[in-house]
Amino acid sequence: MASVTFNHVHKRFGNTHVINDLNIYVEDKEFLVFVGPSGCGKSTSLRMLAGLEEVTEGEILIGDRVVNNVAPKDRDIAMVFQSYALYPHMTVYDNMAFGLRLRKTPKQIIDQRVREAAKSLGIDPLLDRRPRQLSGGQRQRVAVGRAIVREPAVFLMDEPLSNLDAKLRVEARSFISKLHQRLETTFIYVTHDQVEAMTMGTRICVLNAGELQQIDSPFNLYHNPRNVFVAGFIGSPAMNFFDASLKPQGDGLVVDTGVIQINVPASKAGPYRDHVGKQVVLGVRPEDIHDVDYQPANITPSHVEANVDVIEQMGNEMILYLEEGGKTFVARTDPRTQARIGQRIGMAINIDNIHLFDAQTQLSLSFDTKTEDAKQQKAVVR
């Protein structure tokens, strides 16, 4: 088992800077998820760790060993690809055993590892089948099984669930999380799906355009985002943003968007006072906007009226797409809401959970650096 360190890592393809000064420390037995939009550099980071891409600058360590110039086969890692990459002419057994045979592993050990892995994955009845005879979920488990038999120090997974349907993806998320708990090995997982990231990772690394935006627990990413990008990327539907200004009012402040005015009480105004009179960005999550007729009893509400443009009835909740004064926003409301398209409806914004960002830097005005993972201090400077 081993930790993983990205130490001032850069990756360039010609003049294109794909990864810019990446510093991450992953503890032994941790489950870290790389997440971000397409082209942000998450798969490239994983491929550099696997040895499939060269590091332009900086160092990658597995444990205490710098692996920049170590061949992929000697890095003690196993990788699960998006495409599964199974050999179509081989049986499930042979696919899982192939890597061990290349390493001249004794036949008895190969048989033991393959059958133990197959049993733990629930595919032991399928060992004599070929990939074309398997469902997508079964193929995915074979690909994972091929990695398990290696007994590596680090598991790498590059969007392994992308080819599964929605129901199978949910089942596979749970399966991989349980697998991590059982194997107690370091997992590094890449996905563009923030729901996958939030439900699986012990920590999440958010990337955008090759830059590390924030690395933290799912809870802290949701409740304490560092900047507008993280706030908008984490959460579904995405956070609503409004251009606004901060104005003094008595001992408190007013956030004025031109359509929405939110009174910030003195007890919550402390982090924002330095920005009085300046332009800010107001962020409100859809789940913090309620139909006034069904607003929770324990919130501090600020009321606004808006027109209902679109309704999505989800059964357990109702998603409302609203418009007021040329501004659009989304609310996740109680399913009993009686809203109708074209209707004007009163909404209650929970001001306990609003977020304010600097309009120029896009940084949160109340970001608590104490919640940042102290593990990052272990990212060595060599």
Which tens digits make up the pLDDT trace of 253-270? 999 998 889 998 787 888
State the chain's mean pLDDT as an integer: 91
- Confidence tier at 382 by pLDDT (50, 70, 90): very low
Rounded CA separation 5/375 (Å)? 11
Per-residue CA distances from 29 to 66, 296, 373 (Å) = 19, 40, 16
Pairing of strands 154-158, 77-80: parallel
Residue type for 63, please?
G
* Residue-wise pLDDT tens digits, 279-318: 999 999 999 999 999 999 999 899 999 999 999 999 999 9
Provide Rg for the chain, Cα atoms: 24
Distance (Å) of CA 101 to CA 44, 87, 111, 349: 29, 14, 11, 61
Question: Using DSSP, how many helices (H) and how many strands (E) does the chain show?
Answer: 8, 20
User: What was the pLDDT predicted at 183?
Assistant: 84
pLDDT digits (tens, 9 = 90+) for 212-223: 999 999 999 999
Ranking 126-130, 227-231, 256-260, 370-374 by mean pLDDT, the lowest is 370-374
Residue 110: how many other CB atoms lie within 10 Å: 19
pLDDT band at 182; cut points 50, 70, 90: confident
Q: Across-strand partners of 52?
A: none
Residue 81 predicted with pLDDT over 90: no
The pLDDT score that the predictor gives to residue 111 is 94
pLDDT at 168: 76
371 pLDDT more than 70 = no
Of the pLDDT bands very low, low, confident and very high (cuts 50, 70, 90), residue 378 is low
Output the pLDDT for position 11: 97
Helix (H, G, I), strand (E, B) or coil at 198: helix
User: What is d(CA 68, CA 317) in angstroms, rounded to the nearest whole number?
Assistant: 49
pLDDT tens track for 54-63: 999 999 999 9
* Phi-psi domain of 104 (left: phi exceeds 0; alpha: psi -120 through 50; beta: other): left
**Structural domains present in the chain:** 4-231 (3.40.50.300), 238-367 (2.40.50.140)
What is the rounded CA–CA span in Å between residue 193 and residue 203? 15
Mean pLDDT over residues 329-344, rounded?
94
